[in-house]
Amino acid sequence: MMSSLTGALYGVLVVYLGGWFAGAWNGNFSLLLFILTTVTLAYWLAERFHFRPARAAAAANLERQDAARRAELARLGIDKVDGDVQEARQKLLMQPWWLDWTAGLFPVILIVFLLRSFLFEPFKIPSGSMVPTLMVGDLILVNKYHYGIRLPVINKKVADNNPVQRGDVVVFRYPPEPWVDYIKRVVAVPGDEVAYLNQKLAINGQPVPTAAKGEQLDDETITYSPVFAEKLGEAEHLIRVDPRRLGGYGPFPKSFPHAQNCRYVPEGVTCKVPPGHYFVMGDNRDNSMDSRFWGFVPDQNLVGKAFFVWMNFGNLSRIGAFK
């Protein structure tokens, strides 16, 4: 029965992963990992307190029966007895496949679950919205505890750590579709008035310092675009701006939460960031769907702070920390 049940559970897992990979539905890896941890824990506890003791008792009973048989034969004067129960004993003690592939995997799955939920989570850059800081195909690490400790799956913060700073690169749950993760740079924090007009960023009425850094090839358009060093907070980072794409912002439909805090004009947008929210933008300023278009990021949507490229299979020189 347990063998059939385990086979059915693995079948459900294969169907779920197959549909997720094929795009039939949106998967939730955090929820999946939580379920796998819970299920394998149940098998591990059953193995620890029921199945393994039962196998050990059966093996001990076999040895007792063999010892009794040999003692009876010795009493009858028969000293040479054929047969060795050790092989049968090892078979009785052997863990069946359905426990090996459930209870046996629990410690590994638990470690992955704890590391991913509370320490570091890997993330793959899916688009060019963060060029030139992050490239398509970069595999990055996200610090899950930098802004505080959150419960897995429900993402509820239970302890604070560092506050979010202007200039931080953050991964968050995309507000219109919370099951999708996005990555952008925080440009304004609660209480700030942020303006992006004529491709110029200003915070609380003060222009954000920028310095020209030449041009960079845009792989999508196969043209060169100007690159600038921008200083938000303490760290300086690069942004890409294409002057040929100036303007064309508004007015936009006021459909997102706190949309009344934003004023749209053809030159751009000005917003007052509400409490508990952040205004985020991509470093590829003219090729990024960000807060200018869909609104603010609530604090409860934050996943963590992105800080390190651990692999890019197409360009190993990308490996390292970034600002």
For residue 184, CA distances in Å to 148, 283, 305 come to 19, 8, 10
Active-site residue set: 129, 184
Q: Taking the CB of residue 105, how many other CB atoms lie within 10 A of it?
A: 17
Rounded Cα distance between 33 and 21, Å, is 16
For residue 191, CA distances in Å to 171, 204, 302 come to 21, 9, 18
- Counting every residue written for the chain, the total comes to 323
Give the helix/strand (H/E) hosting 8.
helix 2-22
Rounded Cα distance between 306 and 323, Å, is 9
Q: What is the DSSP string of 130-164?
A: TTTTS-TT-EEEEESSTTEEE-TTT--EEEE-SPP
Is the separation of the CB atoms in 12 and 4 below 8 Å?
no
Question: Furthest-apart CA pair in the chain: how many Å?
Answer: 108
Q: Say which DSSP state 50 is in.
A: I
Computed on alpha carbons and rounded to an integer, the radius of gyration of the chain in Å comes to 29
Nearest Cα to Cα of residue 117 among 75, 150, 160: 150
